[in-house]
Structure 1
């Protein structure tokens, strides 16, 4: 069970698409769900960088799939989601004055929610295969997990929670998350050098939800932003930072996932005196069908012939046609070239 809890989740890199139309957040959500998968979800720093690359030189803010939700949850900074293990002190968390959104760990290993602006040391983590203990310039100590999967790094220089997060992400992986009593104890053992101070860990209170329902808790807010709203947009001009925005504003947006293709199979029968088994003739017919559909305001589609098992598009059939000549009835055989399947793909 310990190994299962400590497994690093595998997250497939996101596929992003910038849609250069201005819609409200809700309209953009509907569009992405019809055409792709959903509005963009950002799981980690790699996804953040991919999102910024997708936006390129685009200068206006664009919607992503983050919206303010209901009940608050305690989430981890690295994107691993809601805290399953906690170690609260008695009476905590209590959210005094409604302003205690971040979490400190004491030298005893107990946790307390406090305002994020307070200044203190902090603990980062990073994956590693090493199991060595290192002291660097007296500023921080490195502690590795016994299984060699990650190590914790303590910084004694005082910072706010958000500034600690920035440094951990730039120099390590992220702020420390704690998934078990064992990991909590490892950080406490690292705390020998910080007594009697307390340190930041990567736990924070959050009410934002992703449109696709994912529990990922990665956030990348613009610091000291004075904007407000219940939906999130990304600002390329601010290194891809996110800002709160009113959901009814219109903006470009980013979808995720592959383009959905709707496939329709149409069976047709063609009566003609020309040889439709000739590829040039069948291609010409296909182009005429496409032109006819566009004249009927059908757009964003692709037509293709579907071959049978023998590789043929059309099949020749013989039918009897009755003719009247003077007072007598004659019959003749007419050629009907038919191929019953035409593929219609609409994006």
Structure 2
């Protein structure tokens, strides 16, 4: 079917076109029997609204955008990739520029690795995905300081991190920023996305072409709840019994 018809079919009979939220989802998709199909639609589509996101995927803000930022100045509108200076401030830069970079095993992990070989942002991310996890993400001031500290031990004054800007969104409204493009993609062939079973990467294509497709059959929802606690007496929140009671409530 065309991408739009595939979307309608998935919504009427399942949940939606398939969303790939993270590396685990990509691994599951790669293991899904393809019955000889070499390429199929997934739910990623270019919607023309660019936003800064994290390459690790699963952004947790309500609008899918980067929440914490530490830009030295407003990002250049013509630049789609970001890095960190040795003073901890971020700068936007053309994605094809060659710079060292910082990898991370998982989002929020303290295990980070500085790679001094200069690469483009996309090459750097591919290297991190192959050998570690992904380019480092920075969700708050503490993580920013940690990245600054580890990168500050090396001579270069600018490192790629995992912040990037694009216009691609998932059909089911997921805020996931996970992308696994083929090295030459997207190359403006279209605004819809195909998953190729070999080499297991994403390609952009025109939406009116007819292809098989993947539907999501299990609805996954994440609820993030903010709770404000008040007490008329002195409460020791570090007490394990108090913490357990709060979590239970």
- Indicate yes or no: 2:91 matched with 1:108: no
Is contact 1:62-1:235 (8 Å) kept? yes
The residue matched to 2:111 in structure 1 has which SS? strand
Change (3 A) 1:224 1:44: same
- Residue of 41, 60, 72 corresponding to 2:19: 41
Structure 2 residue 54 is matched with structure 1 residue 93? no
Deviations 1:33-81 (A, max 9, x none): 1111000000111211211222435343200001111321101000032
Q: Unaligned stretches of 5+ in structure 1?
A: 1-22, 129-144, 260-347
Deviation at 1:257, TM superposition (A): 1.3
Q: How does 1:1-347 map to 2 (within 5 A)?
A: 23-56=1-34, 58-81=36-59, 82-90=65-73, 92-95=74-77, 98=78, 100-127=79-106, 149-225=109-185, 226=187, 228-237=189-198, 239-258=199-218
> Shift of the alpha carbon at 1:222?
1.1
- 3-state SS of 1:52 partner: helix
Tell me: CA distance 1:189–1:29, structure 2 relative to 1, closer, same or farther (3 Å): same
**How many Å apart are 1:109 and its aligned residue?**
0.7
Distance 1:177 1:221, change over 3 A: same
What's the offset of the Cα at 1:223?
A: 1.1
Higher share of residues assigned strand: 1
- Where structure 2 has 5 or more consecutive residues not aligned to the other structure, the ranges are 60-64, 220-249
Q: How far is 1:196 from its partner?
A: 4.2
Contact 2:102 2:151 in 1 (8 A): no
TM-score (norm. length: structure 1):
0.58
Output the CA distance in 2 between the equivalents of 1:202 and 1:45. 15
Q: How many residues align?
A: 213
**RMSD (CA atoms):** 1.9
Distance 2:22 2:58 in 1: 9
Q: Determine helix, strand or coil for the equivalent of 2:115.
A: strand
Question: Highest relative contact order (Cα 8 Å, sep 6+), 1 or 2?
Answer: 2
Name the CA distance, whole Å, in 2 between partners of 1:50 and 1:252: 18
Rounded to whole Å, the distance in 2 between the matches of 1:70 and 1:163 is 24
Distance in 2, matches of 1:220 and 1:45, equals 9
CA spacing shift, 1:87–1:53, aligned 2, 3 Å: same
- Distance in 2 separating the partners of 1:232 and 1:252: 12
Counterpart CA distance in 2 for 1:255 and 1:192 is 45
Matched with 2:237 is none
Q: When the two structures are superposed, what TM-score results if normalisation uses the length of structure 2?
A: 0.80
Separation (CA, whole Å) in 1 of partners of 2:151 and 2:11: 48
